[in-house]
Amino acid sequence: MAGAGAGVILLEVSPDAGRHCETTALGVLLRHEGIELSEPLRFGLGQGLGFVLWDAKNLPFPFLGGRSKPMTITRVLAARLGLRLQERETTSPRTAWRNLVTALDAGRPVGLQLDCYHLDHFTTKVHFGGHVVAAHGYDETSVHLVDTAQQGGPVTTSGASLERARGARGPMTARNLSFTLTRDGEVPPVRDVVGEAVRATAHAFLDPPIANLGHRGIRTAATRVPGWFERGDDPAGGIAAVAELMERGGTGGGFFRVLYRDFLAECAVLLGEAGGGDDLRRAERVYATVAQRWTEVSQHLATAAATGEARHLVRAAEVLRDLADREEEAMRVLSGVRDAGR
The string over 233-247, giving b where at least 16 C-beta atoms fall within 10 Å of a residue's C-beta and e elsewhere, is eebeebbbbbbbbbb
Whether residues 97 and 11 share a domain: the answer is yes
Whether residues 196 and 182 share a domain: the answer is no
Which of 42, 43, 49 is CA-nearest to residue 334? 49
Whether residues 208 and 284 share a domain: the answer is yes
Whether residues 183 and 203 share a domain: the answer is no
Whether residues 204 and 261 share a domain: the answer is yes
Residue 204 counted as domain residue: yes
CATH assignment at residue 145: 3.90.70
- Does the pLDDT value for residue 5 go beyond 60? no
> Could you report the per-residue pLDDT of 84-133, keeping only the tens digit for each?
999 999 999 999 999 999 999 999 999 999 999 999 998 778 889 999 99
- Domain that residue 308 falls in: 190-334
Residue 281 counted as domain residue: yes
Residue 73 counted as domain residue: no
Whether residues 11 and 141 share a domain: the answer is yes
Which residues, other chains included, contact 221 with Cβ-Cβ below 8 Å and sequence gap of 6+? 53, 64, 317, 320
Domain end (from 158, 188, 218): 188
Instruction: Render 193-231 in DSSP notation, one character per residue.
Output: THHHHHHHHHHHHHS-SSTTBHHHHHHHHHHHGGGGGGS
Whether residues 229 and 166 share a domain: the answer is no
Domain end (from 143, 164, 188): 188
Domain count, the chain: 2
Which residues, other chains included, contact 314 with Cβ-Cβ below 8 Å and sequence gap of 6+? 226
CA distance 269 to 263: 10
Provide the whole-model pTM. Answer: 0.94
What is the average pLDDT across 188-215? Answer: 96
> Could you report the per-residue pLDDT of 129-181, keeping only the tens digit for each?
999 999 999 998 999 999 999 998 999 999 999 999 999 998 889 999 999 99
Whether residues 196 and 314 share a domain: the answer is yes
Residue 212 counted as domain residue: yes
Q: How far is CA 271 from CA 189, 192, 281, in A?
A: 11, 9, 11
CATH assignment at residue 321: 1.20.120
Sign, CA torsion 265/133/117/70: positive
Instruction: Give the pLDDT confidence score for residue 11 in this predicted structure.
Output: 65
Instruction: Give the pLDDT confidence score for residue 2 in this predicted structure.
Output: 54
- Does the pLDDT value for residue 3 go beyond 60? no
